[in-house]
Amino acid sequence: MTSTAPYWGTAPIATHHMQSTGAFTSVAVRRSFGQNHVSAVPAPPGPPAPQQASSPSAAAAKAKRDWPASVRHYVQRAFASENSIPGINREEMETKLKQVISDSAESNTLLTVDWANKPLPQHMILDERQQSTYLNQNPPWGNGVAPLSIYETNQRSTDSPSKKRKSSDLDSSQDGLQNLPPWRFANSHNVFEARITHPDKRQRNDLSGKSTSKSHQAKNKKRFEDGQAGYVSPKQPFTPSQLNTPPQEMDQGPVIGRCQDLEKKYFRLTSAPNPDTVRPLPVLERTLDLLKRKWKKENNYSYICDQFKSLRQDLTVQHIKTEFTVNVYEIHARIALERGDLGEYNQCQTQLRALHSQHLGGHPEEFKAYRILYFIHTCNRTDMNNALADLTPEEKKVPAIKHALETRSALALGNYHRFAQLYLSTPNMGAYLMDMFVGRERLAALSNMCLSYKPSIKLRFFTEELGFESDDESARFICDHGGQAFLEDREGEVLILTGKAGRFFEAARQAAFQKVDIKGQI
Amino acid sequence: MEVLFRDFQTACQEGSGHLLAATISPIAPPSYLNRLDAIYKDSDVASISQDVARGLTKSAHAAIQYPNPQIDTWTEIYTAYWYAIGGIIAAEQPTSRPEWLRVYMAWKDLANTIIKHYSSGVLEAWTLPVLYMAGKHLRIFAIKADEAAAASGGSDTFNTGEIQEDIAGDFDKNQKLEDAARVINRMFTLCISDRAPLEESRKWGLYYTANLQFKTYFKLNSPSLCKNVIRALGAGRTDMPDLDAFPRSHIVTWKYYVGVLRFLEEDYAGAEESLTSAWHMCHHSATHNIELILTYLIPTCLLTRQLLPSPRLLSPYPRLAEIFTPLVDAIRSGSLSTFDAALADGEAEFVKRRIYLTLERGRDMCLRNLLRKVYLATGMDEEGKRRTRIRVAEFGAAIRLGERGVEGENLENDEVECMVANMICKNLIKGYISRAHGMVVLSKNGAFPGTGI
């Protein structure tokens, strides 16, 4: 340990640590306490590790104080390996044990306590964690604190009412945190996780270890269920709606709904779903028909969107992954597209990508084409690259996808002439997506023309090159961007004085490309 | 087992982090191919932790008196290591079905144990290579575990029992690697949050752990996550050692990744700077690394400075030569159809390396070279000067000549104008288009900047 030498000189805290631990070195059995140098409690010596010979430590304990046999037995039980709970390490357990015994010693109850039936320290810890989790789940304080505890379990973070995930949040490239995939959430909150989330995390471990004690379960039940029979899954604690369902189902199996209503308002789940409010597949199929009719007749987007969300939710909680599911998502995506609700559209698109990859039917090609157009709009090169990587040579020949790819290529090369032609011949509902970025591309082309043509071009030429419907429309477009000064009527023909405009539209072009706003959820 | 304690003792005596790290290597050194076996067979589940404790105490007595926490710490580490190599030995048996998941879990235990003892302060900064060793192999084992999971047939990837809003959550195909990313992130946090004086600070591990994160995120196909790491490092820059003071290997990797990230963000000037510097600093024998750097540096320079790689530059790297040469030749000769064909041929490879969208823009250079040929072929006017007025139709003819098939025939002069307009905007051609005359009027001096005319 030659290199530790400088350490001693410069880091007094570390030195202290070393010395204090050094003092323990003579008592081999107390090694584990050596690290735990915060033990301010005048505690009885810890019992031995189960795999080590237990007699020396017992002797050591006797030497200092003669503990009642019941206490010693209790300590032995605490350390017995069959009583250990995964997720609670020995140090914690020992600290608790010390505290229990010294508390008892201080109050002179060592002989009166019923040690044989007293809960073991690890169970006490578990209980405390349950309670603190409960507090975290229902924070009495405001939002400022709550999200911290909520982030910790990635999935649950989305369920909290205090941190509502807007569909658009997923894509707001500005906000680093929101942009993260779920598995990163916990990660980026690592610092806090270390402080706050232990209880819950451990608890989850407990579940996997299947060692949750009976007494603890019973307590839990009493506390949160008002004495009703049932089982609370520690993964999703304190959800009364689970009560009627057997444990297996809650943990992994899908819910089977028994709601017969066709319509249902969408509520974000904050607990496991209640079968009474979930509609089974036959009902959902009728719901879809109803929604399609209503959309045609009433065209009420906010109602339809809400209904589709609850429809999707019911499908999800029942683990229904069929062509019907694909159908629902596709219809919702198209409706969202029609209304320019890109946030909702993108949610569907993401799901559809996964669903299509399972070959459940539907129209994967149509949506792959949309995806490409969507990434043109968001200027997301990483996603675009991924989308390109996903395509097979056959798919590239499908008209819709071919169109999207050509559009992409034309824009990448600045070929506005070709772009306008493609814009006017967009298959399916791609035009709704093209509309999203046609403005900025026209602006780019206008800026381009002003730099390269001298002294002027006819407005007619601009109209035709960029696929405007009429000279009026293109003139309005130029005026909207403040370029009326560059329009001149000469002998019955309108000219754009490109030479004069020069770099005028450059700033507008840059601004248009900078803000790609997809938060526009309706 | 003895070899472990002996190596441990030597490493401690010499204060060499790398020697110490070598003691927990999951790969046997060439000098002792049986190392893992020897260590593993020397103990069993029941007694491993006592065996290690005893061994360490003994070697400690022989040399220096270690403080107790050190012994406890290393007992825990080596015990975890012992479990991990048990898995590795089993997984590497040619006959059995490799259980990389088990290896990964065991190695993760080891990594977590090491992290724990760093944060409790027992492990000092000089032992950082131990952390590197744990992180490096954690990533590798995670990838292997994921691969094994994928190979054994996809488990039901939907709905893992949590409350879900939508039908298909994240696919789990990289589940373990994502898990590993979290652990590696803790390693990074461990380094960045160390407030000890620089000489003994874990801050020296910053770039290594950051690079490890980059690597992981790239593998996870989410390079955007790297921004958080860069941001964290940027924020902590004031109390960090200078970049130059870090080991060269750390810097090269760091610059490479920063360069690639800038490349992906289309910050080509920044990318050129980082990648060039990585290229210059990279050890000349690290051909694979140089190859990686050049994979991005070549397209970058194509855009920033219209530079094409010479055959001499490419010759040591046959793979690079293979993917770039057809494109480069097409650009040199100004043949659009050859360029398009080469781009299409290499698309899969280019997309995989995320350079497709950049290389595509090389078409501008290709077109520029073609138009330049037209300009040169147009000849002189009466005064012996180059003609600077060229009809759009002349350019159109040249482009049509190169483009075969329907595309070429359908090319309208308006589209040719559009292409020329783009050239002018991108400053690849100096001049302007006079639409009224159907003419391109080129600048008398340097009509094609940077090409000598």
Token reading at A171: 């894509």
Q: Do A32 and B231 touch (CB under 8 A)?
A: no
Judgement on whether residues B270 and B334 belong to the same structural domain of the protein: yes
Count structural domains, chain B: 3
- For Cα atoms A517, B259, A187, give the angle at the middle one, nearest 5 degrees: 65
Statement to judge: residues B8 and B145 lie in one domain: yes
Q: Which residues of B touch A187 (CB under 8 A)?
A: 181-182, 185
The verdict on A446 and A422 lying in the same domain is: no
Segment A255-265, tens digit of pLDDT: 787 777 778 88
Per-residue CA distances from B300 to A415, B272, B276, B312 (Å): 22, 6, 10, 18
Q: Residue B391 pairs with which residues in a beta bridge?
A: B439
Which DSSP letter does residue A339 get?
T
From A35, A325, A453, residue closest to B72, measured CB to CB: A35
User: Residue A256: inside a domain, yes or no?
Assistant: no
Domain identity same for B220 and B327:
no
The Cα B118–Cα A170 span in angstroms is: 35
Size of interface A-B (CB pairs under 8 A): 209
CATH code of residue B400: 1.10.10.10
**Res. B325: pLDDT tops 90:** yes
Q: Using CA atoms in the order B145, B146, B151, B153, what is the torsion angle rounded to 10 degrees?
A: 110
Q: For residue A24, what is the nearest residue in chain B, using CA coordinates?
A: B68
- Cα–Cα distance for residue pair B435/B374, rounded to 1 Å: 19
Q: What was the pLDDT predicted at B11?
A: 86
What is the SS3 assignment for A453? strand
> What is the rounded CA–CA span in Å between residue B58 and residue B73?
15
Eight-state DSSP code of residue B225 = G
pLDDT, tens digit, for every residue of A147-193? 333 334 344 333 434 333 333 333 333 333 344 444 444 333 333 33
Residue of B121, B178, B421 lying closest to A17 (CB–CB): B121
Q: Are residues B219 and B280 in the same domain?
A: no
Cβ-defined contact of B424 to A416 (cutoff 8 Å) = no
Q: Do B433 and A416 touch (CB under 8 A)?
A: no
Q: Please name the amino acid found at residue A477.
A: F
- The verdict on a CB contact (< 8 Å) between B167 and A351 is yes
Cβ neighbours of residue A175 under 8 Å, at least 6 residues apart? A169
Q: Give CA–CA dist B247/B199, Å, rounded.
A: 14
Note whether B23 and B121 are same-domain residues: yes
Q: Please give the backbone phi and psi of residue B181, each rounded to the nearest 5 degrees, phi first.
A: -60, -35
Same-domain status, A310 and A399? yes
Q: Which residue of chain A has the CA closest to B353?
A: A385
Say if residues B429 and B423 touch (Cβ distance below 8 Å): yes
Q: Is the peptide bond before A254 cis (omega within 30 degrees of 0)?
A: no
Q: How far apart are CA A254 and CA B159, in angstroms?
A: 9
Give dist(CA B205, CA B188) in Å, integer: 8
pLDDT of the residue at B64:
58
Which residues of chain B are within 8 Å of residue A313 when distances are taken between CB atoms? 165
Domain stop point among B246, B271, B290: B246
Q: Which amino acid is at B109?
A: D
Tell whether A266 is covered by a domain: no
Q: Tell me, what CATH number does A310's domain have?
A: 1.25.40.990
Are residues B375 and B338 both part of a single domain?
A: no
Give the pLDDT of residue B169.
47
Shared domain check, A420 and A280: yes
Same domain, A458 and A414: no
Q: Are A107 and A130 in a shared domain?
A: no
Are residues A109 and A153 located together in one domain of the fold?
Answer: no
> Does the pLDDT of residue A81 top 80, yes or no?
no
Range of the domain at B326: 259-360
Q: Is residue B447 part of a domain?
A: no
Same domain, B342 and B217: no
Query: Which residues span the domain enclosing A416?
Result: 275-427
Q: Return the pLDDT at B215.
A: 93
Asked if residue B105 belongs to a domain, the reply is: yes
pLDDT in tens, B245-302: 899 999 999 999 999 999 988 899 999 999 999 999 999 899 999 999 999 999 999 9
* pLDDT value for B263: 92
Is the domain of B319 the same as that of B389?
no
**Cβ–Cβ of A414/B422 closer than 8 Å?**
yes
Q: Which of B12, B122, B123, B166 to mutate to test the interface with A (most CBs of A within 10 A)?
A: B166
Distance CA A254, CA B43 (A): 46
Point out the domain boundary residue: B246, B277, B302.
B246
Contact yes or no for A269 and B163 at CB 8 A = yes
What residue spans of B403-453 are helical by DSSP H?
Answer: 405-410, 413-425
Give domain status of residue B167, yes or no: no
Q: B352: nearest CA in chain A?
A: A389
- Same domain? For A456 and A401 the reply is no
How many angstroms separate the CA of residue A252 from the nearest CA in chain B?
Answer: 4
**Shortest Cα–Cα distance, A115 to chain B (Å):** 30
| Pick from A44-58, A114-128, B50-64: least confident | A44-58
Task: Closest CB to A385: pick one of B67, B169, B351.
Answer: B351
Tokens of B126: 């000089």
Specify whether the CB–CB gap between A181 and B170 falls below 8 A.
yes
In a domain, A203, yes or no: yes
Q: Are residues A495 and A360 in the same domain?
A: no
Residue B280 CA to residue B263 CA, distance in Å, equals 18
Residues B55 and B141 in one domain: yes
B327 shares contact with chain A (CB less than 8 Å): no
Establish how many alpha carbons lie within 13 A of residue A196's alpha carbon, considering only the half-sphere containing its beta carbon. 21
Q: Which of A187, A236, A465 is the closest to B185 by Cβ?
A: A187
So what's the pLDDT on residue B153? 61
CA distance A312 to A334: 15
Specify whether B225 is located in the same domain as B291: no
Q: Which of B360, B376, B392 is the last residue of a domain?
A: B360
Closest residue in chain B to residue A465, using alpha carbons only: B414
**Other residues' Cβ atoms within 10 Å of the Cβ of residue A231:** 17
For residue A522, pLDDT over 70 is answered with no
Contact B433 A453 (CB under 8 A): yes
Query: Hey, is B383 helix, strand or coil?
Result: coil
What span, in angstroms and rounded, lies between the C-alpha atoms of A278 and B281? 62
A412 with A441, same domain: the answer is no
Interface contact flag, B170 A181, Cβ < 8 Å: yes
Q: What number is the average pLDDT over the span B361-373?
A: 91
Do B11 and B24 touch, CB atoms closer than 8 A? no
Residue A219 or A255, more confident: A255
Place of tokens 């920063």: B258
Measured in angstroms, the CA of B352 and the nearest CA of chain A are apart by: 7
Chain-chain contact of B433 with A386 (C-beta, under 8 angstroms): no
Torsion of CA B71, B77, B82, B88, to 10 degrees: -160
Q: Say if the Cβ atoms of B361 and A448 lie within 8 Å.
A: no
Burial of B40 (0-12, 13-18, 19+ CB in 10 A): buried
Into how many domains does chain A fold?
A: 4
pLDDT confidence bin for B63, thresholds 50/70/90: low
Judgement on whether residues A286 and A393 belong to the same structural domain of the protein = yes
Ordered DSSP codes for B71-105 = HHHHHHHHHHHHHHHHHHHHHH-SSSPP-HHHHHH
Nearest to B415 among A188, A409, A418 (CB): A418
The verdict on A149 and A218 lying in the same domain is yes
Query: Is 50 exceeded by the pLDDT of residue B316?
Result: yes
ipTM over 0.85: no
Instruction: Decide: helix, strand or coil at residue A183.
Output: helix
- Find chain A residues with C-beta within 8 A of B266's C-beta: 381
What are A365-399's pLDDT values in tens digits? 999 999 999 999 988 888 888 889 888 889 999 99
Report whether B201 contacts B194 (CB < 8 A).
yes
User: pLDDT-based confidence at B107, cuts 50/70/90?
Assistant: very high
